[in-house]
Amino acid sequence: MARPIIADIDLDALCHNYAVARRIAPRSHAMAVIKANAYGHGAVACAKALAAVAPAFAVASLEEAESLRESGILQPILLLEGIFDTDELARVEALGLWQVVHSDWQLNAVLNYSPARPLTVWLKLDSGMHRLGFDSASFADRWAKLQAAGDRVRDLHLISHFASADQADPSQFERQWQTIESVRQQLEAPLCIANSPATLAKPRTHGHWNRPGIMLYGSNPLEGALPDGMSLKPVMTLRSRLIAVQTLPMGEPVGYGGRWHTSRPARIGIVAAGYGDGYDRHAADGTPLLVDGQRCPLVGRVSMDMLTVDISHLPDAGVGSEVVLWGRGLGVDEVARHCDTIGYTLLTGLLPRVPRRYLVP
Ligand SMILES: Cc1ncc(COP(=O)(O)O)c(C=O)c1O
């Protein structure tokens, strides 16, 4: 038998979550963000599953877009950071990609390029996150330059990114939104602003386009609960099995460094999953797992290929018992909290050695 770890990817759940993003923003187009291998889920499979409903996709690099084109994805694909080198423009044009322009060197590259068909450009406003984009003082000038580019550029949109639309404290979000609003009113620019948290909780930011990412995979990006009546389905369920069981007396250490000791006689299950698969080594004692569908606490440090779980209260569990590390029945966000991280990093961090099994509708 092969090593039993596997990630089940429920493409029906992905389509359900995409439909939620559409339903809560019915007047916006939803561009499905499938960068970083669709947050670890497999970009090609996810794009194919969404191809019938999603009018566009967003990725982080030309290479990510190329692999989608090679697999037959025809939709427009937005490069969220634009080109990294002027040489890439010819490929962008040949593949019919959309590009963000966030810097003057990119702007000049576009303005100096003579495409056979107009390039679609999304001009990035730095509305206060201070990561990428033109500040509000210089944005109108760059917008005007692109507008004056005649038939070399078309479909200009204003794109910007929120730093804290997920947080309960709205102060930074409000400052960013005011900046976006004032630039938008001045230029009458169509907007592409809302990431998942803004799509879910800030309806006033819904623009001509939205850019939901993490919510498509079933993780709740908000600091609090999802708005009433809204439910997302986990797309990835990471499963493995117990490959051994240790019966230990009280006072015995378990795992590297002896971080955890039995405080009573205990049965410890050894799970075929570790940080070499992408399970977070920072998972604290008590991080939940499901063993035969029952919640059990992780105990001791996560190793590269294994981790340990206290199954003392499950006398029937043994070698071969199924273990869910996150997914259906155990939200990735809950696991992430025990690892002092966020669902994004657990999902995106799943390593290539874990086989993905696609469950099709
Ligand atoms: C520029 C940009 N747009 C959209 C997204 C999607 O954000 P989320 O996954 O929070 O929906 C990201 C995610 O990192 C991003 O960097």
- CA end-to-end distance (rounded Å), the chain: 27
Answer whether residue 5 is part of any domain: no
Measuring CA to CA, how many Å separate 97 from each of 52, 113, 306?
19, 15, 42
Question: What pLDDT score was predicted for residue 12?
Answer: 97
Tell whether 120 is covered by a domain.
yes
186 and 82 within one domain: yes
**Per the domain annotation, does 3 fall within a domain?**
no
Looking at residue 361, what is its pLDDT?
Answer: 64
62, 124: one domain:
yes
pLDDT at 129 (0 to 100): 96
Three-state secondary structure call for residue 289: strand
pLDDT of residue 282: 97
By the 8 A CB rule, do 59 and 34 touch? yes
Indicate if 166 and 251 belong to the same structural domain: no
State phi, psi for 39 to the nearest 5 degrees. 50, 40
CATH code: domain of residue 317: 2.40.37.10
230 part of a folded domain = no
Residue 81 alpha carbon, nearest atom of ligand 1 = 1
- What single letter denotes the amino acid at residue 97? L
Q: Which 3 state secondary structure label does DSSP give 239?
A: strand
- Helix, strand, coil content of the chain in percent (nearest 5): 30, 25, 45
Q: What are phi and psi of 167, to 5 degrees?
A: -95, 150
Going from the first residue of the chain to its last (361 residues), give the mean pLDDT of each consecutive group of 10, the final group possibly shorter: 96 98 97 98 98 98 98 98 98 97 98 95 97 97 95 94 92 96 94 96 96 98 89 97 98 97 98 98 98 98 98 98 98 98 98 95 64
Flag whether 228 is in a domain.
no
Of the candidates 228, 201, 227, 225, the residue with the CA atom closest to the CA atom of residue 212: 201
- What does DSSP assign to residue 152? G
172 and 242 together in one domain: no
Q: CB of 234 closer than 6 A to ligand 1? A: no
Residue 327's SS3 state is: strand
- Do 114 and 165 share a domain, yes or no? yes
| The predicted structure's pLDDT at residue 224 | 86
Q: Where are the alpha helices (DSSP H) in the chain?
A: 11-23, 35-39, 43-50, 62-70, 89-94, 104-111, 136-147, 171-187, 196-201, 332-338, 343-348
The region, left, alpha or beta by phi > 0 then psi within -120 to 50, assigned to residue 184 is alpha
Dist. CA 113 → ligand 1 center (Å) = 28
Detail the residues annotated as belonging to a binding site for substrate: 131, 304
Nearest atom of ligand 1 to the alpha carbon of 80: 1
Q: Is residue 4 a part of any domain in this protein?
A: no
In angstroms, what is the span from residue 35 Cα to ligand 1's centroid? 9
Do both 263 and 161 map to the same domain?
no
Nearest 5 degrees, angle CA 11-CA 17-CA 23? 140
Domain count, the chain: 2
**Residue 229 pLDDT:** 87
| CATH number of 51's domain | 3.20.20.10
Q: Are residues 174 and 278 in the same domain?
A: no
The response to whether residue 125 sits with its C-beta less than 6 Å from ligand 1 reads no
Asked whether residue 226 is domain-assigned, the answer is: no
Strands (E), 146-278: 153-159, 191-192, 209-210, 236-248, 253-254, 260-261, 266-271
Domain that holds residue 289: 236-359
Are 299 and 200 found together in one domain? no
Same domain, 210 and 245: no
Domain-terminating residue out of 186, 217, 248:
217
* CA torsion, ordered 133, 139, 145, 147, to nearest 10 deg: 100
Bridge partners, residue 56, by sequence: 31
Q: Round to whole Å and give the CA distance between 349 and 233.
A: 20
- Looking at the domain assignment, is residue 231 inside a domain? no
Does residue 172 sit in the same domain as residue 251? no
Q: Mind telling me the catalytic residues?
A: 35, 256
Q: Rg of the Cα trace of the chain?
A: 23
Q: Are residues 332 and 266 in the same domain?
A: yes
The total number of residues shown for the chain amounts to 361
Do 265 and 123 fall within a single domain? no
Pocket of ligand 1 contains residue 221 by CB under 6 Å: yes
